[in-house]
């Protein structure tokens, strides 16, 4: 007598339960990084400084003062007596370590200030300051300075005018 084959109709895995479990795991995989990101948002930001950089041309041949610089003419004249002053560019940017702010000056000159260390062991700021001419460094200094105190780089140009770069961090 022929044997009737039994057909497989059994359900091995209860799929709804498995799906819900996998969905729960997937949701946790999303939620945990999201919560971590939110927690990171509550952590104080990396130390930063507002760095201001400006370039001025000082000429011994033209005593005029750029109207934009009229209010600080006494201070500039104290630095370079007998000169006129013309503002080339001024930039101010909030920087964290390794970030830079740059100024485009004339005749292919560029000034750049890079924040090296927002606060050192003495509470001062460390900056790298560079004056570049056609992307070649003409003057570079590693400066440690108190915050809220401007300092200057003064470079004599071939035409006897001076390029005055002011830098400060607060």
Partner 1 sequence: MTTNHSSADRDALTRLWDAARPVEPTDAAWDALWARVTDRLDQQQPAEAPTVLAFSPWRRISGRVLIAAQAAAILMAAFLAARHRPVTESHAPTPLAQIAMVHEWDFPPGIIPMIRQDDKGVRFVAFAQDERSNALVGPLDGNFAMYDYMEGLAD
Q: Which is nearer to partner 1, 62 or 73 (CB)?
A: 73
Q: Is 66 in the site for partner 1 (CB under 8 A)?
A: no
Applying CB under 8 A, among 60, 62, 94, 98 the residue interacting with partner 1 is 98
Q: Is 91 in the site for partner 1 (CB under 8 A)?
A: yes
Pairing of strands 84-96, 48-59: antiparallel
Q: Is 168 in the site for partner 1 (CB under 8 A)?
A: yes
Q: Is 143 in the site for partner 1 (CB under 8 A)?
A: yes
Name which of 135, 169, 132, 153 is nearest 58 in CA terms.
153
Q: Is 148 in the site for partner 1 (CB under 8 A)?
A: yes
Contact 148, 51 (CB under 8 A): no
At 35, is the secondary structure helix, strand, or coil?
helix
Applying CB under 8 A, among 63, 68, 104, 108 the residue interacting with partner 1 is 68
Applying CB under 8 A, among 92, 94, 108, 119 the residue interacting with partner 1 is 92
What is the C-alpha separation between 145 and 104, in angstroms, rounded? Answer: 23
Q: Is 24 left (phi over 0), alpha (psi -120 to 50) or beta?
A: alpha
Q: Is 104 in the site for partner 1 (CB under 8 A)?
A: no
Binding-site size, partner 1 (CB under 8 A): 71
């Amino acid at each position: 007598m022929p044997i009737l084959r039994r057909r497989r109709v059994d359900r091995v895995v209860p799929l709804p339960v498995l799906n819900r479990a996998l969905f729960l795991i997937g949701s946790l995989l999303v939620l945990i990084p999201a919560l971590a990101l939110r927690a990171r948002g509550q952590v104080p930001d990396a130390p930063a400084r507002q760095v201001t950089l400006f370039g001025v041309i000082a000429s011994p041949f033209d005593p005029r003062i750029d109207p934009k610089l009229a209010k600080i003419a006494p201070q500039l004249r104290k630095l370079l007596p007998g000169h006129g002053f013309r503002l080339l560019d001024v930039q101010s940017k909030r920087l964290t370590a390794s970030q830079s702010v740059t100024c485009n000056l004339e005749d292919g000159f560029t000034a750049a200030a890079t924040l090296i260390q927002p606060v050192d062991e003495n509470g001062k700021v460390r900056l790298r300051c560079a004056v570049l001419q056609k992307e070649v460094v003409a003057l570079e200094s590693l400066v440690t300075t108190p915050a809220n105190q401007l300092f200057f780089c003064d470079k004599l140009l071939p035409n006897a005018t001076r390029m005055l770069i002011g830098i400060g961090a607060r």
